[in-house]
Structure 1
Amino acid sequence: MMLNTPRLVLRSWTALDFDPFVKMNINPNVMRFFPSTLTPLQSVASARHLSDELAEKGWGMWVVEEKASHQFIGMVGLQQRSEKEGILNHPFVEIAWRLSDRFWGQGYAPEAAKRVIDYAFEHLDISSLYSLTALCNLPSQRVMEKIGMWDTDFTFQHPKVSTDSHLSWHCLYKITREG
Protein backbone atom coordinates (compact mmCIF):
# COMPACT_ATOMS: atom_id res chain seq x y z
CA MET A 1 0.00 0.00 0.00
CA MET A 2 1.40 3.35 -1.06
CA LEU A 3 0.01 6.81 -0.35
CA ASN A 4 1.01 9.96 -2.19
CA THR A 5 1.00 13.66 -1.44
CA PRO A 6 2.30 16.44 -3.70
CA ARG A 7 5.84 16.12 -2.28
CA LEU A 8 5.91 12.77 -0.51
CA VAL A 9 5.45 9.05 -0.94
CA LEU A 10 4.28 7.02 2.04
CA ARG A 11 5.33 3.45 1.33
CA SER A 12 6.29 0.06 2.70
CA TRP A 13 9.64 -0.53 4.35
CA THR A 14 12.66 -1.90 2.49
CA ALA A 15 16.07 -3.01 3.73
CA LEU A 16 17.48 0.28 2.42
CA ASP A 17 15.41 2.16 5.04
CA PHE A 18 17.10 0.53 8.02
CA ASP A 19 20.29 2.60 7.96
CA PRO A 20 18.59 6.04 7.80
CA PHE A 21 16.07 4.82 10.41
CA VAL A 22 18.95 3.87 12.72
CA LYS A 23 20.61 7.26 12.15
CA MET A 24 17.35 9.08 12.90
CA ASN A 25 16.80 7.15 16.13
CA ILE A 26 20.33 7.68 17.51
CA ASN A 27 20.05 11.43 16.94
CA PRO A 28 19.53 13.08 20.37
CA ASN A 29 17.79 16.06 18.75
CA VAL A 30 15.19 13.85 17.03
CA MET A 31 14.68 11.77 20.18
CA ARG A 32 14.64 14.62 22.71
CA PHE A 33 10.97 13.99 23.57
CA PHE A 34 11.51 10.26 24.05
CA PRO A 35 13.00 8.69 27.18
CA SER A 36 16.18 7.77 25.26
CA THR A 37 17.67 7.30 21.85
CA LEU A 38 17.45 3.81 20.35
CA THR A 39 20.40 1.53 19.81
CA PRO A 40 20.97 0.33 16.25
CA LEU A 41 19.65 -3.12 17.22
CA GLN A 42 16.50 -1.60 18.74
CA SER A 43 15.92 0.46 15.59
CA VAL A 44 16.34 -2.52 13.27
CA ALA A 45 14.01 -4.63 15.41
CA SER A 46 11.48 -1.79 15.40
CA ALA A 47 11.73 -1.34 11.62
CA ARG A 48 11.22 -5.07 11.07
CA HIS A 49 8.18 -5.05 13.36
CA LEU A 50 6.71 -1.97 11.68
CA SER A 51 7.35 -3.47 8.25
CA ASP A 52 5.69 -6.78 9.17
CA GLU A 53 2.71 -5.01 10.73
CA LEU A 54 2.20 -2.83 7.66
CA ALA A 55 2.39 -5.88 5.38
CA GLU A 56 -0.08 -7.87 7.53
CA LYS A 57 -2.71 -5.18 8.11
CA GLY A 58 -2.27 -3.00 5.06
CA TRP A 59 -1.89 0.00 7.36
CA GLY A 60 0.50 1.03 10.09
CA MET A 61 3.66 3.11 10.08
CA TRP A 62 4.69 4.02 6.54
CA VAL A 63 8.12 5.17 5.45
CA VAL A 64 8.01 8.80 4.32
CA GLU A 65 10.10 9.43 1.23
CA GLU A 66 10.69 12.79 -0.41
CA LYS A 67 9.59 12.50 -4.05
CA ALA A 68 12.18 14.92 -5.43
CA SER A 69 15.21 13.23 -3.87
CA HIS A 70 13.86 9.71 -3.12
CA GLN A 71 15.35 10.13 0.37
CA PHE A 72 14.02 8.49 3.52
CA ILE A 73 12.86 11.36 5.71
CA GLY A 74 11.05 9.47 8.48
CA MET A 75 7.84 7.64 9.22
CA VAL A 76 4.21 8.46 9.77
CA GLY A 77 1.20 6.30 10.33
CA LEU A 78 -1.26 4.56 12.55
CA GLN A 79 -0.82 2.36 15.58
CA GLN A 80 -3.50 0.27 17.26
CA ARG A 81 -3.38 0.92 21.00
CA SER A 82 -4.95 -1.23 23.71
CA GLU A 83 -6.68 -0.22 26.92
CA LYS A 84 -4.12 -2.48 28.63
CA GLU A 85 -1.43 0.12 27.82
CA GLY A 86 -2.93 2.38 30.49
CA ILE A 87 -3.58 5.46 28.38
CA LEU A 88 -7.32 5.29 27.70
CA ASN A 89 -9.85 2.83 29.09
CA HIS A 90 -10.70 1.64 25.57
CA PRO A 91 -8.78 0.63 22.45
CA PHE A 92 -7.92 3.44 20.06
CA VAL A 93 -5.90 4.21 16.95
CA GLU A 94 -3.03 6.64 17.31
CA ILE A 95 -1.53 8.71 14.52
CA ALA A 96 2.18 9.29 15.01
CA TRP A 97 5.22 10.58 13.15
CA ARG A 98 8.96 10.92 13.44
CA LEU A 99 11.08 12.73 10.89
CA SER A 100 14.80 13.23 10.54
CA ASP A 101 15.67 16.73 11.79
CA ARG A 102 17.13 17.62 8.39
CA PHE A 103 13.54 17.74 7.12
CA TRP A 104 11.89 19.69 9.94
CA GLY A 105 10.25 23.03 9.27
CA GLN A 106 9.23 22.19 5.71
CA GLY A 107 5.64 21.13 6.38
CA TYR A 108 6.34 17.45 5.70
CA ALA A 109 4.89 16.10 8.97
CA PRO A 110 1.49 17.79 8.53
CA GLU A 111 1.40 16.92 4.82
CA ALA A 112 2.03 13.23 5.48
CA ALA A 113 -0.23 13.09 8.54
CA LYS A 114 -3.16 14.68 6.68
CA ARG A 115 -2.86 12.03 3.99
CA VAL A 116 -2.89 9.27 6.61
CA ILE A 117 -5.94 10.82 8.29
CA ASP A 118 -7.79 10.95 4.97
CA TYR A 119 -6.88 7.32 4.30
CA ALA A 120 -7.99 6.21 7.79
CA PHE A 121 -11.36 7.93 7.53
CA GLU A 122 -12.08 7.06 3.89
CA HIS A 123 -10.76 3.48 3.63
CA LEU A 124 -10.34 1.98 7.09
CA ASP A 125 -13.69 2.89 8.63
CA ILE A 126 -11.94 4.50 11.59
CA SER A 127 -14.14 7.17 13.14
CA SER A 128 -11.57 8.88 15.38
CA LEU A 129 -7.82 9.15 15.75
CA TYR A 130 -5.75 10.22 18.72
CA SER A 131 -2.25 11.55 19.10
CA LEU A 132 -0.26 11.88 22.29
CA THR A 133 2.96 13.55 23.27
CA ALA A 134 4.84 14.91 26.24
CA LEU A 135 3.43 18.23 27.45
CA CYS A 136 6.79 19.86 26.70
CA ASN A 137 6.73 18.71 23.05
CA LEU A 138 5.30 21.89 21.56
CA PRO A 139 6.47 21.14 17.99
CA SER A 140 4.35 17.96 17.83
CA GLN A 141 1.42 19.76 19.40
CA ARG A 142 1.67 22.38 16.63
CA VAL A 143 1.58 19.60 14.02
CA MET A 144 -1.49 18.14 15.72
CA GLU A 145 -3.24 21.49 15.50
CA LYS A 146 -2.18 22.02 11.86
CA ILE A 147 -3.79 18.71 10.88
CA GLY A 148 -7.08 19.60 12.51
CA MET A 149 -6.74 17.78 15.83
CA TRP A 150 -7.93 19.35 19.04
CA ASP A 151 -6.61 19.13 22.57
CA THR A 152 -8.91 16.88 24.63
CA ASP A 153 -7.69 18.56 27.86
CA PHE A 154 -6.82 15.08 29.12
CA THR A 155 -3.35 14.96 30.65
CA PHE A 156 -1.83 11.80 32.05
CA GLN A 157 1.42 10.30 33.19
CA HIS A 158 2.59 7.97 30.46
CA PRO A 159 2.79 4.49 31.96
CA LYS A 160 6.05 3.69 30.13
CA VAL A 161 7.88 6.84 31.26
CA SER A 162 9.44 7.24 34.70
CA THR A 163 7.30 9.47 36.91
CA ASP A 164 10.32 11.62 37.77
CA SER A 165 11.05 12.37 34.10
CA HIS A 166 10.21 15.75 32.58
CA LEU A 167 8.61 13.67 29.78
CA SER A 168 6.22 11.85 32.10
CA TRP A 169 3.17 14.06 31.67
CA HIS A 170 1.43 13.79 28.30
CA CYS A 171 -1.46 15.44 26.51
CA LEU A 172 -3.95 13.80 24.18
CA TYR A 173 -5.27 15.23 20.92
CA LYS A 174 -8.14 13.88 18.83
CA ILE A 175 -9.75 14.20 15.41
CA THR A 176 -12.97 12.61 14.22
CA ARG A 177 -14.29 11.84 10.79
CA GLU A 178 -17.07 14.38 11.36
CA GLY A 179 -14.54 17.11 12.03
Structure 2
Amino acid sequence: MNDIRTDRLLLRRWRGADLAPWAEMNADPAVREHLGDLLTPEQSAASVETFQAEFDERGYGWWAVEELATGTFVGFAGLDLVDEDMPFDGIEIGWRLARPAWGHGYATEAAFATLAFGFRTLALPEILAVTTAGNHRSQAVMRRIGMTRDPAQDFDDPSVPDGPLRRKVLYRISAPDKCHAGAAADSQAG
Protein backbone atom coordinates (compact mmCIF):
# COMPACT_ATOMS: atom_id res chain seq x y z
CA MET A 1 0.00 0.00 0.00
CA ASN A 2 1.45 3.30 -1.08
CA ASP A 3 1.33 6.44 0.98
CA ILE A 4 -1.11 9.16 0.00
CA ARG A 5 0.16 12.73 -0.18
CA THR A 6 -1.97 15.83 -0.22
CA ASP A 7 -0.78 19.42 -0.31
CA ARG A 8 -0.05 19.40 3.42
CA LEU A 9 -0.43 15.84 4.68
CA LEU A 10 1.00 12.37 4.36
CA LEU A 11 -1.38 9.45 5.00
CA ARG A 12 0.90 6.49 5.68
CA ARG A 13 1.34 3.21 7.51
CA TRP A 14 1.92 3.42 11.24
CA ARG A 15 5.42 3.69 12.76
CA GLY A 16 6.69 2.98 16.25
CA ALA A 17 7.19 6.70 16.82
CA ASP A 18 3.43 7.21 16.39
CA LEU A 19 2.53 5.23 19.51
CA ALA A 20 3.24 7.95 22.10
CA PRO A 21 1.34 10.78 20.35
CA TRP A 22 -1.49 8.34 19.50
CA ALA A 23 -1.76 7.33 23.17
CA GLU A 24 -1.71 11.00 24.16
CA MET A 25 -4.60 11.71 21.76
CA ASN A 26 -6.63 8.82 23.17
CA ALA A 27 -6.09 10.13 26.71
CA ASP A 28 -7.39 13.60 25.78
CA PRO A 29 -11.01 14.10 26.91
CA ALA A 30 -11.64 16.66 24.15
CA VAL A 31 -10.49 14.23 21.44
CA ARG A 32 -12.55 11.40 22.98
CA GLU A 33 -15.64 13.56 23.65
CA HIS A 34 -17.77 11.79 21.02
CA LEU A 35 -16.02 8.42 21.21
CA GLY A 36 -16.45 7.22 24.77
CA ASP A 37 -13.96 6.31 27.46
CA LEU A 38 -10.35 7.43 27.42
CA LEU A 39 -7.91 4.73 26.31
CA THR A 40 -4.89 3.51 28.22
CA PRO A 41 -1.50 3.47 26.46
CA GLU A 42 -1.87 -0.32 26.19
CA GLN A 43 -5.28 0.00 24.51
CA SER A 44 -3.89 2.58 22.10
CA ALA A 45 -0.95 0.31 21.21
CA ALA A 46 -3.32 -2.61 20.67
CA SER A 47 -5.43 -0.50 18.31
CA VAL A 48 -2.36 0.26 16.18
CA GLU A 49 -1.59 -3.47 15.98
CA THR A 50 -5.15 -4.02 14.76
CA PHE A 51 -4.83 -1.20 12.20
CA GLN A 52 -1.63 -2.74 10.84
CA ALA A 53 -3.12 -6.24 10.64
CA GLU A 54 -6.20 -4.94 8.79
CA PHE A 55 -4.00 -3.11 6.29
CA ASP A 56 -2.01 -6.30 5.68
CA GLU A 57 -5.20 -8.31 5.24
CA ARG A 58 -7.35 -5.90 3.18
CA GLY A 59 -4.98 -3.36 1.66
CA TYR A 60 -6.79 -0.44 3.31
CA GLY A 61 -7.66 0.77 6.78
CA TRP A 62 -6.64 3.59 9.09
CA TRP A 63 -3.57 5.54 7.99
CA ALA A 64 -1.46 7.57 10.36
CA VAL A 65 -1.65 11.22 9.29
CA GLU A 66 1.51 13.31 9.31
CA GLU A 67 1.94 17.01 8.64
CA LEU A 68 4.32 17.19 5.65
CA ALA A 69 5.97 20.48 6.63
CA THR A 70 7.03 19.28 10.08
CA GLY A 71 6.81 15.48 10.01
CA THR A 72 4.52 15.71 13.04
CA PHE A 73 1.99 12.93 13.65
CA VAL A 74 -1.40 14.66 13.81
CA GLY A 75 -3.89 11.78 13.89
CA PHE A 76 -5.49 9.19 11.67
CA ALA A 77 -7.84 8.92 8.71
CA GLY A 78 -8.99 6.12 6.48
CA LEU A 79 -11.55 3.50 5.65
CA ASP A 80 -12.88 0.54 7.62
CA LEU A 81 -15.61 -2.06 7.43
CA VAL A 82 -18.75 -0.99 9.28
CA ASP A 83 -19.03 -2.86 12.59
CA GLU A 84 -21.14 -6.02 12.41
CA ASP A 85 -23.63 -4.82 15.05
CA MET A 86 -24.68 -1.77 12.99
CA PRO A 87 -28.09 -1.75 11.25
CA PHE A 88 -26.36 -1.44 7.83
CA ASP A 89 -23.15 -2.62 6.18
CA GLY A 90 -20.52 -1.08 3.96
CA ILE A 91 -17.24 0.80 4.14
CA GLU A 92 -16.92 3.73 6.52
CA ILE A 93 -14.65 6.77 6.28
CA GLY A 94 -13.31 8.38 9.43
CA TRP A 95 -10.69 10.64 10.95
CA ARG A 96 -9.41 11.69 14.34
CA LEU A 97 -6.95 14.48 14.96
CA ALA A 98 -4.93 15.70 17.91
CA ARG A 99 -6.24 18.97 19.33
CA PRO A 100 -3.31 21.09 18.02
CA ALA A 101 -4.27 19.95 14.48
CA TRP A 102 -7.88 21.14 14.80
CA GLY A 103 -9.04 24.13 12.79
CA HIS A 104 -6.51 23.80 9.95
CA GLY A 105 -8.70 21.91 7.48
CA TYR A 106 -6.65 18.72 7.89
CA ALA A 107 -9.66 16.47 8.47
CA THR A 108 -11.29 17.69 5.26
CA GLU A 109 -8.04 17.38 3.30
CA ALA A 110 -7.41 13.84 4.55
CA ALA A 111 -11.05 12.89 3.96
CA PHE A 112 -10.97 14.06 0.32
CA ALA A 113 -7.82 11.98 -0.28
CA THR A 114 -9.42 8.99 1.43
CA LEU A 115 -12.57 9.30 -0.69
CA ALA A 116 -10.45 9.43 -3.86
CA PHE A 117 -8.62 6.27 -2.78
CA GLY A 118 -11.89 4.50 -1.96
CA PHE A 119 -13.56 5.37 -5.23
CA ARG A 120 -10.60 5.16 -7.62
CA THR A 121 -8.42 2.43 -6.13
CA LEU A 122 -10.99 0.25 -4.36
CA ALA A 123 -13.82 1.04 -6.84
CA LEU A 124 -16.30 1.37 -3.98
CA PRO A 125 -19.83 2.27 -5.08
CA GLU A 126 -20.55 4.13 -1.83
CA ILE A 127 -18.77 5.29 1.32
CA LEU A 128 -20.51 5.87 4.67
CA ALA A 129 -19.70 7.96 7.72
CA VAL A 130 -21.12 7.65 11.23
CA THR A 131 -20.81 9.94 14.22
CA THR A 132 -22.76 10.96 17.28
CA ALA A 133 -25.71 13.29 16.81
CA GLY A 134 -23.84 15.94 18.83
CA ASN A 135 -20.56 15.82 16.90
CA HIS A 136 -21.19 18.89 14.77
CA ARG A 137 -17.52 19.35 13.79
CA SER A 138 -17.33 15.91 12.15
CA GLN A 139 -20.72 16.39 10.55
CA ALA A 140 -19.44 19.66 9.03
CA VAL A 141 -16.50 17.76 7.50
CA MET A 142 -18.91 15.16 6.13
CA ARG A 143 -20.93 17.88 4.44
CA ARG A 144 -17.80 19.63 3.10
CA ILE A 145 -16.66 16.44 1.37
CA GLY A 146 -20.06 16.04 -0.29
CA MET A 147 -21.74 13.51 1.99
CA THR A 148 -25.45 13.74 2.68
CA ARG A 149 -27.64 12.66 5.57
CA ASP A 150 -31.18 11.33 5.63
CA PRO A 151 -32.42 11.86 9.22
CA ALA A 152 -34.68 8.82 8.78
CA GLN A 153 -31.50 6.70 8.78
CA ASP A 154 -30.23 8.00 12.15
CA PHE A 155 -30.11 5.21 14.71
CA ASP A 156 -29.25 4.18 18.25
CA ASP A 157 -25.93 2.33 18.35
CA PRO A 158 -26.61 -1.05 19.99
CA SER A 159 -23.02 -1.26 21.28
CA VAL A 160 -23.28 2.02 23.27
CA PRO A 161 -25.11 2.37 26.59
CA ASP A 162 -27.96 4.85 26.96
CA GLY A 163 -26.67 8.41 26.98
CA PRO A 164 -25.53 11.19 24.64
CA LEU A 165 -23.16 8.94 22.66
CA ARG A 166 -25.79 6.37 21.70
CA ARG A 167 -27.67 8.37 19.03
CA LYS A 168 -25.79 8.25 15.73
CA VAL A 169 -26.18 9.98 12.39
CA LEU A 170 -25.37 8.31 9.08
CA TYR A 171 -23.94 10.15 6.09
CA ARG A 172 -23.43 8.68 2.61
CA ILE A 173 -21.70 9.51 -0.63
CA SER A 174 -21.92 7.57 -3.88
CA ALA A 175 -19.06 7.11 -6.29
CA PRO A 176 -18.81 10.13 -8.56
CA ASP A 177 -18.94 9.89 -12.30
CA LYS A 178 -15.54 9.74 -14.03
CA CYS A 179 -15.39 13.51 -14.54
CA HIS A 180 -15.74 14.23 -10.81
CA ALA A 181 -13.60 11.26 -9.70
CA GLY A 182 -10.61 12.79 -11.44
CA ALA A 183 -11.09 16.09 -9.64
CA ALA A 184 -11.29 14.34 -6.28
CA ALA A 185 -8.15 12.37 -7.04
CA ASP A 186 -6.27 15.59 -7.81
CA SER A 187 -6.37 16.28 -4.08
CA GLN A 188 -3.74 13.57 -3.67
CA ALA A 189 -0.35 14.33 -5.13
CA GLY A 190 1.61 11.14 -5.23
TM-score, structure 2 normalization: 0.89
Cα drift, residue 43 of structure 1: 0.5
Cα drift, residue 12 of structure 1: 0.3
Cα drift, residue 139 of structure 1: 0.4
* Structure 2 alignment gaps of length 5 or more: 178-190
**Counterpart in the other structure of 1:55:** 56
Cα drift, residue 178 of structure 1: 2.9
1:12–1:55 CA contact under 8 A, matched in 2: no
**Counterpart in the other structure of 2:157:** 158
Q: Where does 1:24-173 land on structure 2 (aligned, <5 Å)?
A: 24-82=25-83, 84-88=84-88, 91-153=89-151, 154-163=153-162, 165-173=163-171
Which of 158, 176, 179 pairs up with 1:178? 176
* 1:30-49, Cα deviation, whole Å (9 max, x unpaired): 00011211111111000111
SS in structure 1 opposite 2:30? coil
**Identical aligned residues as a percent:** 36
Which protein has the bigger strand share? 1
* 1:39-66, Cα deviation, whole Å (9 max, x unpaired): 1111100011102211332211000000
- Alpha-carbon distance in 2 for matches of 1:86, 1:109: 24
Amino acid paired to 2:122: L
- Alpha-carbon distance in 1 for matches of 2:11, 2:86: 30
1:75–1:98 CA contact under 8 A, matched in 2: yes
**Counterpart in the other structure of 2:185:** none
- Alpha-carbon distance in 2 for matches of 1:28, 1:71: 21
SS in structure 1 opposite 2:46? helix
Moved over 3 A (4+): none
* 1:53-112, Cα deviation, whole Å (9 max, x unpaired): 113322110000000000000000000125x31331xx3000011000110000000000
1:78–1:96 CA contact under 8 A, matched in 2: yes
RMSD of aligned Cα (Å): 1.1
- Alpha-carbon distance in 2 for matches of 1:5, 1:86: 32
* Structure 1 alignment gaps of length 5 or more: none
TM-score, structure 1 normalization: 0.94
- Alpha-carbon distance in 2 for matches of 1:133, 1:151: 11
1:94–1:130 CA contact under 8 A, matched in 2: yes
